[in-house]
Amino acid sequence: MSDDLRARMLAHFTPAQIVELTLGIALFMGFSKIAVALGSAPSDMPTMVVPTPDVP
């Protein structure tokens, strides 16, 4: 996380809230990947591809 992003996040959330948001996002993404891998996701579900940024 860049220092700028960290400062902007801390302007709106406490450190504990940032941890909770991060954990929630990780769980949602993980469970959706499990659903797709197990074939239980509907075939007409919209998907979005987010590329991984290059880190210098």
pLDDT surpasses 80 at 50: yes
This prediction's pTM: 0.59
**Closest by CA position to 19, among listed 42, 37, 1:** 1
- Write out the DSSP string of 6-52: HHHHHHHS-HHHHHHHHHHHHHHHHHHHHHHHTT-S-TT------PP
Cβ(31)–Cβ(40) under 8 Å?
Answer: no
Task: Identify the DSSP state of 4.
Answer: H
Q: Give 21-43 pLDDT, tens digit per residue.
A: 999 999 999 988 888 888 876 77
